[in-house]
Amino acid sequence: MVSRVIPVDVFDLVIFGGTGDLARRKVLPGLYRRFLAGQMPEGARIIGAARADLDDQGFRDMARAAIGEFAGAAKQDAEAIGQFLDHLHYVAIDATGEGGWDRLAAIVRKDVVQAFYFSVAPSLFGELAERLHHHGIATAQSRIVVEKPFGHDLGTAQALNATLAAHFSEGQIYRIDHYLGKETVQNLMAVRFANMLFEPLWNAQYIDHVQITVAETVGVGGRGAYYDRSGAMRDMMQNHLMQLLCLIAMEPPYKFDPDAVRDEKLKVIRALDPVGPEDIVRGQYRGGAKKDGLGEPSYVEDAANPASLTESYVALKVMVANWRWKGTPFYLRTGKKLRGRTSEIAIVFREPPHSIFGDEEGWRENVLAIRLQPNEGMNLTVMIKEPGPGGMRLTEVPLDMSFADALGEDGADIPDAYERLIMDVIRGNQTLFMRGDEVEAAWAWTDPIIAGWEERGDRPRGYDPGSSGPEDALMLLHRDGRRWREIRE
């Protein structure tokens, strides 16, 4: 199967923070891969803009090293890298001062697609928007790409939305949630709305419950100081897991159009019931012994804050209060230093109303599991007869589909979320970006939960590194007669 490369118009993409970690690990290697795929038009320019005192050549050298490290071994082609680097330019700039802005104004063209990627600390987002406007660089057609986190709570998100709205219309603002750029996440919509098989069953009558898991094996490491002001609820739940929940729970949009899709997602967020303390468990990883005998730091050591009450894990049960989902809980969990690196959505179906086989032992519920990582794909478990002459005994088998296998050579080359999203920006397609009202609604749901913890002085439960999280989180499902799916190593 050959994937189609849809050409884009000539563009100037300015990456504020072009020398930073995100630019080096994701943005520049992603753009290079799009170049390899034939999607970079002649005359397109990528302009790094950051504090470091570099010239074009210095930025190209940095990008060459980043591509070497992060673009993948199979993509290393010296000639192609050289051609790609010709698209790169650099302006040393100070987001908080006057330095560099006139030069940027002189370089950026007004007659091509203009995009400004804010890959800098969130405290600079508002200032960049203002200066782009003040220096007459942006036009009514420019697009700005805003990284996460978008606000720290509802108040700060509203303030940021207002600052951006003073200079850019909503149609110009691309708020990144890179989970939405993942192939599987988009496939969730294809599976639901392009097949007759699932959608008729997609409701509380047939679905017992839904589990969403985003488990990481790494700790907060070098990001400890930043993370300690945020925590799993703000860093992952309010945005990534919430977006996944929306795609599962939303009504079919009338068409695959940015506002039609985002309207339906917004309705889901607004329909979420508040979550009380009995339906949420927070955790914080303890220290542990590593296999090599060296000690592994605990969360409070990583955060360099012995009194920290910040959670590195959160699990919750939430109900979507509408006709479709009445009675079907959504269980969400995410955490660091867990047993395995797994991101998965599991749709667990109900029992058949009556068993004609009498073999209850072998019976398991049907589960549609959508894997985001590792090995993006889908798995549907179905019951069949156990092979052999032993009578009608039931057994569960997977109908497993790895996208990489199913799509052949091309599938092994599934584009990274960032490269897809950046090209969507250039094309002017906002479907996979969060709208301002969505972000605010998500904070409006999150804020009271966090406020409750703060008021009660709630202490996160400890959990061992390499475990599945705190024991109490198991109880969230056990008390409902259900169990979490295993987090595989």
CB nearer ligand NAD, residue 68 or residue 122: 122
What is the Cβ-side half-sphere exposure of residue 485, based on CA atoms within 13 angstroms? Answer: 27
CB nearer ligand NAD, residue 120 or residue 268: 120
Query: Which of 96, 139, 141, 355 touches ligand NAD (CB under 6 A)?
Result: 96
Q: List CB contacts of 251: < 8 A, sequence separation 6 or more.
A: 264, 267, 324
148 contacts ligand NAD (rule: CB under 6 A): yes
Strand partners, 320: 272
Query: Which of 8, 19, 174, 182 touches ligand NAD (CB under 6 A)?
Result: 19
CB nearer ligand NAD, residue 119 or residue 172: 119
CB nearer ligand NAD, residue 19 or residue 446: 19
Q: What is the size of the binding site for ligand NAD (CB under 6 A)?
A: 20
Query: Which of 8, 13, 14, 17 touches ligand NAD (CB under 6 A)?
Result: 17
DSSP readout, 157-180? Answer: HHHHHHHHHHHS-GGGEEE--GGG
Output the smallest distance, CB 176 to ligand NAD, in A. Answer: 8
Q: Check if the beta carbon of residue 74 is closer than 8 Å to that of residue 36.
A: no
Question: Own/partner pairs for 299-305, CB < 8 Å, 24+ apart?
Answer: 299/219, 299/220, 299/336, 299/337, 302/219, 302/220, 302/221, 302/224, 303/220, 303/224, 303/225, 303/227, 303/228, 304/224, 304/225, 305/224, 305/228
21 contacts ligand NAD (rule: CB under 6 A): yes
20 contacts ligand NAD (rule: CB under 6 A): yes
95 contacts ligand NAD (rule: CB under 6 A): yes
147 contacts ligand NAD (rule: CB under 6 A): yes
3-to-281, 411, 415 alpha-carbon distances in Å: 43, 9, 11
The DSSP letter of residue 53 is -
Output the smallest distance, CB 473 to ligand NAD, in A. Answer: 25
Tell me which residue has tokens 């189609």: 4
CB nearer ligand NAD, residue 117 or residue 403: 117
Active site residue: 167, 240, 354, 478, which one? 240
Query: Which of 51, 143, 282, 420 touches ligand NAD (CB under 6 A)?
Result: 51
Which of the stretches 49-57, 280-288, 323-331, 358-366 binds ligand NAD when contact is defined by CB under 6 A? Answer: 49-57
- Chain Cα centroid distance, residue 173: 18
Q: Which residue is nearest to ligand NAD (CB)?
A: 20
Q: What is d(CA 311, CA 298) in angstroms, rounded to the nearest whole number?
A: 12
Query: Which of 28, 40, 50, 115 touches ligand NAD (CB under 6 A)?
Result: 50
Output the smallest distance, CB 179 to ligand NAD, in A. Answer: 11
Tokens of 20: 């930073």
Output the smallest distance, CB 19 to ligand NAD, in A. Answer: 4
DSSP readout, 176-192? Answer: --GGGGSHHHHHHHHHH
94 contacts ligand NAD (rule: CB under 6 A): yes
Output the smallest distance, CB 267 to ligand NAD, in A. Answer: 27
SS3 category, 267: helix
Q: Check if the beta carbon of residue 403 is closer than 8 Å to that of residue 411.
A: yes
Q: Check if the beta carbon of residue 320 is closer than 8 Å to that of residue 271.
A: yes
52 contacts ligand NAD (rule: CB under 6 A): yes
240 catalytically annotated: yes
CB nearer ligand NAD, residue 150 or residue 463: 150
Could you say which residues in the range 106-145 bind ligand NAD, by CB under 6 A?
A: 119-122
Q: What is d(CA 147, CA 211) in angstroms, rounded to the nearest whole number?
A: 27
Query: Which of 22, 144, 237, 261 touches ligand NAD (CB under 6 A)?
Result: 22
Output the smallest distance, CB 225 to ligand NAD, in A. Answer: 12
> What phi and psi values does residue 175 have, to the nearest 5 degrees?
-90, 120
Output the smallest distance, CB 56 to ligand NAD, in A. Answer: 16
Query: Which of 28, 31, 81, 93 touches ligand NAD (CB under 6 A)?
Result: 93
Taking alpha carbons only, the member of 16, 296, 291, 24 closest to residue 129 is: 16
Output the smallest distance, CB 27 to ligand NAD, in A. Answer: 9
Taking alpha carbons only, the member of 320, 234, 310 closest to residue 271 is: 320
Active site residues: 240
For binding to ligand NAD (CB under 6 A), which residues are involved? 17-23, 50-52, 93-96, 119-122, 147-148
